[in-house]
A = this chain, B = another copy of it.
Amino acid sequence: MKFDRELLKGTTETFILAVVAEEPSHGYQLVKKLKLKSEGIFQLGEGTLYPLLYKLEAKDWIKGKWDESAGMRKRRVYRITPKGRRQLAARSEQWRELVRGMTLLLGDSAHA
């Protein structure tokens, strides 16, 4: 979906954490996976995803490791850290609150 530019802000970190938590992944793979698993709703470009991964790693929420298996393009595989799990829980909580607030305010408009 083509979102109104700002709508995604603050949610991306959360769903990336969630997907990485479910299964360690590398960047390029995440681009595909996010699109697939969200049924095309989220389509992050690489220019969005990679810098985000660096940031998450810098905060120690995920940890990347180079995978240089023979006969493969080398790739950096990220897995979630304990700290990342705690963040994910906190973010999910905030997300649920946001949804609750919006539901309260949108009311009928939400089903227009």
Which residues on A are within 8 Å of B, measured CB to CB? 1, 3-11, 14-15, 17-19, 21-22, 34, 37-39, 41-42, 88-89, 91-92, 94-102, 104-107, 109-110, 112
Chain B residue with Cβ nearest A9: B9
Contact between A104 and B38, CB atoms less than 8 A apart = yes
**Closest CB of chain B to A111's CB: distance in Å?**
8
Contact between B105 and A18, CB atoms less than 8 A apart = yes
Contact between A105 and B21, CB atoms less than 8 A apart = no
With a CB–CB cut-off of 8 A, which chain B residues contact A14?
102, 106
Contact between B112 and A89, CB atoms less than 8 A apart = yes
**Closest CB of chain B to A23's CB: distance in Å?**
12
With a CB–CB cut-off of 8 A, which chain B residues contact A38?
101, 104-105
User: How far apart are the CA atoms of A39 and B103 in the complex, in Å?
Assistant: 11
**Closest CB of chain B to A79's CB: distance in Å?**
15
**Known: A89-B112, A96-B110. Is A104-B41 also a contact (CB below 8 A)?**
yes
Chain B residue with Cβ nearest A36: B104
